[in-house]
Structure 1
Amino acid sequence: MDGAELTIAHEFLLLGHHPDTGTRLVNPLELDCGAAGAILAQLALAERIALQGERVAVVKAAPLGDRFLDSVLAQLASRHTPRPATWWVNRLKGAGLRGRLLTDLVRRGALRSERQSVFRVFSLTRYPAGDAAGRHVSERVRAVFDGTHPPDHRTVALFAILDATRLDRKILHDVPRHVRAQRVAAIAQGDAIGPVVRKVIRSVHAATAGAAAAAGAAGVAAGGAG
């Protein structure tokens, strides 16, 4: 993989695909919501955004040097009136963000892109692991969950997005549900980050969870209709 640092959204999508088969572990719309929420969470960690009441406002417009983060930051800054986190999650999830992030992960070598024909009618694209990047992210998440590594800012934000999209249930499937839920909540809502950033991430968590729940319900309805 190239030397550029992965964003939290990249890490979320690595965890969202089975490393061997490349299949999605949650509904694709939930991945869309998670990727959008992860970008907002990282902008909060970088002290580029904060909450004004219930709305997300840019407090520092200086670019971060990452095209995904800077693109969203520019969109936020272009709004004369701040919008709630829910509005931004829904806007970003429909703008092809996940596809661009996946393409970038393939370019970096972290994922492979494999197209598969289904009944010769349509095709699916799977994203199995390309190198050890996803395994490293998974190991870091597990170490923080198990308490063998202290939670850092990035991993706290990542846990908030995993919880919001229910992806934590898939990657920590071997842990009893009540134990997993309590530990994930404790990490995501803990004191590893400052109060201002924590407030933004809680808002992003709620927005992502709401959008992901709606996306999951839409997926179930579509499946039932089919």
Structure 2
Amino acid sequence: MRNVPETLAEELLLLAYDLRGKCRIGPVELDCGVAGAMLSELRLADRLRLDGTVLAVADAEPVGDPILDGLLADIAASPRGRTPQEWVTRLRATDHQQRLLARLADRGQVAVDRHRLHRTFGVFVETRYPVRDIVGLWEAQQRVVAAVTTSAPADARTLALGALVAGAGLSKPVFATSGNWRVLRDRMRAMTEGDWIADAVRRALAVELGSVSV
């Protein structure tokens, strides 16, 4: 049986990397998208809530995933309240994304391809993550596409993933083969209006990049 991504963040990573291992969005967009995906996973598990404008722990019971449980504990132990946007930005400085990629690699869903790049100022090592789980990639993409191109009702998990796709700049690679990607992106945003985590991702990117054109 095929290994299936266990978290939204892992599905987002499969959508972000192509078969050659190149990331289809910029590093800032990827960082913020993965951060939002982890928060969204905890929200779907009823572990997080909004307390006014501040992210709060609704239930500190572990969800059974070591990466997510560590994040939940960090939020619970935070000495001061932070907005979802602040948590998205804060998570960019952690190793969560590398741990998720390592887990995907251990399961054979991505490969790890390190090679040297010769530049004017020296030799650098670039790491790419070619997607090997083609079925997982296809299924994640088709779920999100179907949500905006068919009348079939989408489940909360698919809508959460779609909101992150639209928020983190993955709309073009995910939607381009199914129609006008901008129209489909806007449709997904309308369907997920009120998703405060996807909104936090967009706001964090606006600060980091000085633009919200994703």
What residue in structure 2 maps to residue 224 of structure 1? none
Partner Cα distance (2:69, 2:198) in 1 = 21
Partner Cα distance (2:115, 2:209) in 1 = 24
What residue in structure 2 maps to residue 32 of structure 1? 31
Q: Which moved more, 1:111-120 or 1:26-35?
A: 111-120
Q: Structure 1 residues 107 and 123, CA, compared in 2 at 3 Å: closer, same or farther?
A: same
What residue in structure 1 maps to residue 158 of structure 2? 155
Shift of 1:181: 3.0
Matched ranges for 1:61-100 at <5 A: 61-100=60-99
What residue in structure 1 maps to residue 129 of structure 2? 127
Partner Cα distance (1:149, 1:115) in 2 = 42
Partner Cα distance (1:15, 1:4) in 2 = 14
Gap regions ≥5 residues in structure 2: none
2:186 to 177, 182, 199: 182
1:205 to 180, 198, 209: 198
Shift of 1:71: 1.0
TM-score (norm 1): 0.83
- 2:21 counterpart letter in structure 1: G
2:87 match: secondary structure: helix
Shift of 1:80: 4.3
Consecutive aligned runs of 4 or more in structure 1 exceeding 4 Å deviation? 1-5
Q: Structure 1 residues 217 and 108, CA, compared in 2 at 3 Å: closer, same or farther?
A: farther
2:127 match: secondary structure: strand
Length, aligned pairs only: 206
Contact 1:30 1:216 in 2 (8 A): no
Q: CA RMSD in A?
A: 2.1
What residue in structure 1 maps to residue 17 of structure 2? 17
1:37 match: secondary structure: helix
Contact 2:171 2:181 in 1 (8 A): no
- 1:155 counterpart letter in structure 2: T
Matched ranges for 1:163-174 at <5 A: 163-174=166-177
Query: Between the two proteins, what is the percent identity of the paired residues?
Result: 35
2:176 match: secondary structure: coil
Question: Which has the bigger relative contact order, CA under 8 A and spacing at least 6?
Answer: 1
Partner Cα distance (2:182, 2:62) in 1 = 41
- 2:92 counterpart letter in structure 1: K
Contact 1:27 1:216 in 2 (8 A): no
Q: Which moved more, 1:71-80 or 1:178-187?
A: 178-187
Contact 1:34 1:212 in 2 (8 A): no
Shift of 1:81: 3.3
Partner Cα distance (1:148, 1:113) in 2 = 38
What residue in structure 2 maps to residue 58 of structure 1? 57
Q: Structure 1 residues 22 and 217, CA, compared in 2 at 3 Å: closer, same or farther?
A: farther
Q: Structure 1 residues 139 and 173, CA, compared in 2 at 3 Å: closer, same or farther?
A: same
